[in-house]
Amino acid sequence: MATGGGFCQFLFFGCLRLLFLPRHDVVVTLTTPPLISFLGAWRAKLWRARFCYWVMDFNPDEAIAAGWLRADSFVAKFLERLSRFSLHRADSIIALDRFMRDRIVAKHIEAKKVAVIPPWSQDGQIRFDAVGREAFRVRHGLTGKFVVMYSGNHSPVHPLATLTRAAEELREETEIVFCFIGGGSEFARIKKWAAESQNPQVLCLPYQPLSELSGSLSAADAQVVVMGDAMLGLVHPCKIYNILTVGAPVLYLGPVSSHVTEILADMQPRHPWGGARHGDVGELVRQIRRLRQETAGHERLVPAAVELHYSQAALLPRLVGLIESKTAEFKVGK
């Protein structure tokens, strides 16, 4: 994880680099590290270039919702002014889902300049891997188990308390194992909980190498996607795409209406999934048991919608086309 000093170094050297770049027709910036969009917006303004703002997460709103910043603090107000400058200066804004688009429009941004283009799955690296699945399960003593897996960043924006309580509730059902893979600020807390509870049905592992990621993701019988209630439209549940790419059943924890539930509800034929609200441990336990029963012995199928709507082949041309349209506008306007 980058430190504040690392961000400052990056921004400092980025500013130096910007000073000596030749003039460009279009500037595209993301949202990380903080302030990078503000620098890009100013560089575009000075060049009189078109500016495309690709919003990956929405700050300082996310930091405020997570409790990392107070809304009335000087830092929050300062970052909000920079964010609004970037949004208003942008000729085109790319949001990752409709909930993020709504958050942006609520900042008094014209809806017509906000395009919704989700991030794509890692088509080249991630796929269902039957051999890797079996190897992972043998290596970690999971053969014959129903594996509920949360794989990725463990962060306050993805609250896991309901999942850990479900693991405690299902402790006596020894055929169900909960596997936590990844890192992040909350991973140490999860490992501490697992150690203190001495639950043999809980397994904690670090991030897996990319070369083995298909196998570890495929090893799950249910992959968990978590969206904090306050995070709707502020962060994007990117892990859903790789989960669907390996055809894993989905367990969703979060608001009833979200990008995840919309994707899963629209899939034909229906992809196996279950959901529960944060705090509803009983419903989550019921959904785990139901998925275990309904998917037993079923062939792992990758939904056709992944390739049609959420693959790089489907989404990258849309992104490139949007940027190229701004290049064309710039040349016409010269």
Residue 328 has pLDDT above 80, yes or no: no
Measured between alpha carbons, how far is residue 288 from residues 48, 82, 178, 181 in Å? 55, 44, 11, 19
User: Is pLDDT at 90 greater than 80 in this prediction?
Assistant: yes
* pLDDT given at position 148: 98
pLDDT of amino acid 1: 43
Residue 199: pLDDT above 60?
yes
pLDDT at 3: 52
Q: What is the second-level CATH architecture of the domain 24-120+312-333?
A: 3-Layer(aba) Sandwich (3.40)
Is the CATH number 1.10.3720.10 carried by domain 130-302?
no
Residue 5 is predicted with a pLDDT of 60
Q: What is the mean pLDDT of the chain?
A: 90
Query: Which pLDDT does position 121 carry in this prediction?
Result: 80
> Average pLDDT of 181-197?
93
Quick one: pLDDT at residue 177? 97
pTM above 0.85, yes or no: yes
Query: What are the domain boundaries of the chain?
Result: 24-120+312-333, 130-302
| Least confident interval from 6-10, 251-255, 273-277 | 6-10
When pLDDT is averaged across residues 265-288 and rounded to a whole number, the result is 94
Taking only the tens place, the pLDDT of each residue in 1-11 is 445 566 677 77
Which pLDDT band, with edges at 50, 70 and 90, does 253 fall under?
very high
Above 90 in pLDDT, residue 128? yes
What pLDDT does residue 307 have? 83
**Average pLDDT, integer, range 308-316:** 89
What is the model's pLDDT at position 107? 95
pLDDT for 4 equals 54
For 223-248, write each residue's pLDDT tens digit: 999 999 999 999 999 999 999 999 99
What percentage of the chain carries pLDDT values higher than 90?
Answer: 69
What pLDDT does 303 receive? 82
> So what's the pLDDT on residue 21?
81
In this prediction, residue 330 has a pLDDT band, given cuts at 50, 70 and 90, of: low
**Quick check: do 24-120+312-333 and 130-302 share a fold?**
yes
Q: What is the pLDDT of residue 124?
A: 75
| Range with the poorest average pLDDT among 5-9, 79-83, 142-146, 149-153 | 5-9
Which has the higher per-residue pLDDT, 168 or 13? 168
The percent of residues in the chain predicted with pLDDT above 70, rounded, is 96
More confident residue, 276 or 34: 276
